[in-house]
Amino acid sequence: MEKQITLTHDGLELKATLHYPVGQHDLEAKKQAIIICHGFIGSRIGVDRLFVKAARALAAQGSYVLRFDYGGCGESNGDYGALGFNSMIDQTRTAIDYMHGMDCVDPRRIVLLGHSLGGAVALMTAVKDKRVKRLVLWSAVGYPFNDIVRIVGRSSYDEAVTKGSTDHAGYSLQPVFFDSLMQHQPFQSATRFGGEVLLVHGTSDELIPVDYSFLYQKVFWTRSEGLCDKEIIFQAGHTYSSRPHQEEAIRVTSEWLSGLDRKQQEWHHWSI
């Protein structure tokens, strides 16, 4: 079952879709909650319906899944180019509030799944909000300012600074948007997240270098707690736009999360 909902955040109406667990699962047990964070000027649908397919597959494995549009994107109101990175972190925390408030959700299994810029947002949210226990980063941005300026073009950034805004694919990006990107360094902050991490990246990513995932893993490995696994998908592009690549990213993510649950149950039985 899927339900269309509206989250309210600081005057914004964030349109969202909540997927309920399906299949033969323990009806009494509290379930994992997964929140999908889309990327730069994206939406909760995803390129080639990536997030729709991912949410339905993960719900079929027994999780609640919430995918939502950031302010100014998809069906949500607001001005994306005037809100910036900090607002996206706060909007994500509003989504966490919603899921955490559900009696049927296991607070020990709240997951953020972020793609591209949404990956950087998910990481920085997890650093700030200790309710996040697991992170799945698909093709995550590593240097928000540099990466987004490279995508929109230096001339567009210069136009925003000198004229007050620049048009990119119909979005008016303002200096405050770019300034907010400068304030966050995910690679430096990664060590402050103590939970479990899965990195997924394609070797043919044309926007965010696959090397970022190798660097992320090295940083996460320096932590005193929390595991970090990595899956590199051969010839996958930035948005996993072929069916085999979509299915691989979703399968790897589902199996990784299921594996964590098994380990948690085994540890619980052993400790008893």
Q: What is the mean pLDDT of residues 231-260?
A: 97
Count of domains in the chain?
1
In a domain, 152, yes or no: no
pLDDT band at 24 (very low <50, low <70, confident <90, very high): low
Cα–Cα dist 174/73, whole Å: 15
In a domain, 158, yes or no: no
Q: What is the mean pLDDT of residues 41-58?
A: 98
Q: pLDDT tens digits, residue range 169-196?
A: 999 999 999 999 999 999 999 999 999 9
Q: pLDDT tens digits, residue range 60-88?
A: 999 999 999 999 999 999 999 999 999 99
- Give the three-class secondary structure for 114: strand
Per-residue model confidence (pLDDT) at position 189 = 98
**123 residue type, one letter:** L
Cβ–Cβ < 8 Å for 117, 78 = no
In a domain, 178, yes or no: no
Instruction: With CA atoms as reference, report the closest residue to 139 among 47, 63, 59.
Output: 47
Cβ–Cβ < 8 Å for 16, 6 = yes
Dig out the tokens for 222 from the structure: 């320096």
Per-residue model confidence (pLDDT) at position 263 = 81
Q: Which of 125-129, 207-211, 259-263 shows the lowest per-residue confidence on average (mean pLDDT)?
A: 259-263
In a domain, 209, yes or no: yes
Cβ–Cβ < 8 Å for 215, 207 = no
Beta bridge partners of 43: none
Task: Give the structural domain span for 16.
Answer: 2-142+186-271
In a domain, 149, yes or no: no
In a domain, 202, yes or no: yes
The three-point CA angle 245-247-251 to 5° equals 120
Instruction: With CA atoms as reference, report the closest residue to 46 among 80, 87, 8, 17.
Output: 17
In a domain, 217, yes or no: yes
Q: What is the mean pLDDT of residues 3-31?
A: 90
Cα–Cα dist 257/251, whole Å: 10
pLDDT band at 11 (very low <50, low <70, confident <90, very high): very high
Q: Look at 13 and 267; give whichever has higher pLDDT.
A: 13
What's the CATH code of the domain at 29? 3.40.50.1820
Dig out the tokens for 198 from the structure: 């899965």
In a domain, 164, yes or no: no
* H/E segment holding residue 232: strand 228-233
Q: What percent of the chain has pLDDT over 70?
A: 96
pLDDT band at 264 (very low <50, low <70, confident <90, very high): confident
Per-residue model confidence (pLDDT) at position 196 = 98
Per-residue model confidence (pLDDT) at position 262 = 85
Phi-psi region of 121 (alpha: psi -120 to 50; beta: other; left: phi over 0): alpha
